[in-house]
């Protein structure tokens, strides 16, 4: 088994090797994207081949029974590529190794998918809701604070400290959870955590919620001004007068 693990580690390292060198100075953005897509597809195919090699070495008889012909093996690989294509190639290989370490039975596609998914506790990370509360109630908003993991701080910073402190959980948590899970997946894949995060639809929902709240507050204020005999449209001075009276408890 030790020899098998050494083979797995070597194959996993090979996924780090670029598919080829190109002159980025003379390549357009579209060409670069196409090249990266092709490279990702090649690496995913390589990862699936690696995974099947691991399974065959660990379960030779069951493997032969599951894929009795070359044609059935080729078709199975196509299905597995589609089923696991959303995950990074190196993660697929690690999932295969984990499956071999934790089961005595021949794993199927669904089991490998489950091993590919992010499990926060296995990475020493808090679950999203726990991380959210940590961010909300942290006495400091600096990188130097003793965070359970730097991903909590980065997710909070990306979400916005004002959003975390002032918005309802139903508004702030979905935004934080998305950012946090993106960062946790980067931890799992060994990627740079500092890379910017593309804004999601949750951000527009948050802005809409803030806009609605502001409108409701303004309507309530106008009603209060009207009750006190103040023209809501009389200008800033009237607003400041009411604001001062409310702060003084009058």
Q: Tell me the mean pLDDT in the region 143-152.
A: 95
Percent of the chain with pLDDT over 90: 52
CA gap 147, 152 in Å, rounded:
7
Q: Tell me the mean pLDDT in the region 161-176.
A: 94
Give a yes or no: residue 178 inside a domain. Answer: yes
Give a yes or no: residue 222 inside a domain. Answer: no
> What's the pLDDT band for 57 if we cut at 50, 70, 90?
very high
Give a yes or no: residue 241 inside a domain. Answer: no
pLDDT given for residue 14 in this prediction: 57
Give a yes or no: residue 91 inside a domain. Answer: yes
Q: Tell me the mean pLDDT in the region 57-77.
A: 94
Structural domain range at position 50: 2-117
Percent of the chain with pLDDT over 70: 68
Cβ neighbours of residue 126 closer than 8 Å, sequence gap 6 or more: 120, 134, 148, 149, 152
- Do residues 67 and 29 both lie within one domain? yes
- Do residues 105 and 137 both lie within one domain? no
Flag whether pLDDT at 39 surpasses 90: no
State the average pLDDT for the chain.
Answer: 80
pLDDT given for residue 170 in this prediction: 94
pLDDT given for residue 41 in this prediction: 87
Give a yes or no: residue 233 inside a domain. Answer: no
Flag whether pLDDT at 52 surpasses 60: yes
Q: Tell me the mean pLDDT in the region 157-178.
A: 95
The residue among 54, 87, 117 that closes a domain is 117
Question: Tens of pLDDT along 72-116?
Answer: 999 999 999 999 999 999 899 999 999 999 888 999 999 999 999
Number of independent structural domains in the chain:
2
pLDDT given for residue 21 in this prediction: 46
pLDDT given for residue 220 in this prediction: 63
- Do residues 20 and 82 both lie within one domain? yes
- Do residues 107 and 144 both lie within one domain? no
Query: Number of C-alpha atoms within 13 angstroms, CB side, residue 41?
Result: 8
Question: Tens of pLDDT along 191-213?
Answer: 888 887 776 554 555 455 555 55
Give a yes or no: residue 86 inside a domain. Answer: yes
Flag whether pLDDT at 69 surpasses 50: yes
Which of 18-32, 51-65, 96-110, 171-185 comes out lowest in average pLDDT? Answer: 18-32
pLDDT given for residue 29 in this prediction: 63
The residue among 97, 117, 137 that closes a domain is 117
* Model-wide pTM > 0.85: no
């Amino acid at each position: 088994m030790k020899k098998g693990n050494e083979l797995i580690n070597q194959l996993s390292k090979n996924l780090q090797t670029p598919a080829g060198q190109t002159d980025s100075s003379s390549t357009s953005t579209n060409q670069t994207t196409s090249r990266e897509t092709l490279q990702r597809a090649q690496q995913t195919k390589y990862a699936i081949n690696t995974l099947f090699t691991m399974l065959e070495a660990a379960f030779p008889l069951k493997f032969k029974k599951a894929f009795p012909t070359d044609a059935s093996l080729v078709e199975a690989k196509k299905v597995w590529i589609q089923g696991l294509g959303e995950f990074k190639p190196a993660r697929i290989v690690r999932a295969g190794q984990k499956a071999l370490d934790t089961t005595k039975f021949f794993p199927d596609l669904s089991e490998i998918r489950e091993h590919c998914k992010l499990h926060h506790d296995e990475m020493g990370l808090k679950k999203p809701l726990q991380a959210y509360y940590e961010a909300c109630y942290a006495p400091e908003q600096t990188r130097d604070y003793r965070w359970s993991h730097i991903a909590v701080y980065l997710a909070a910073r990306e979400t916005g400290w004002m959003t975390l402190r002032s918005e309802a959980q139903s508004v702030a948590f979905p935004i934080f959870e998305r950012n946090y899970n993106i960062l946790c997946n980067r931890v799992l894949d060994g990627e740079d955590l500092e890379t910017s995060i593309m804004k999601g639809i949750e951000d527009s929902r948050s802005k809409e919620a803030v806009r609605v709240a502001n409108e409701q507050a303004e309507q309530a204020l106008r009603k209060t001004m009207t009750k006190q005999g103040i023209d809501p449209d009389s200008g800033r001075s009237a607003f400041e007068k009411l604001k001062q009276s409310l702060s003084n408890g009058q």
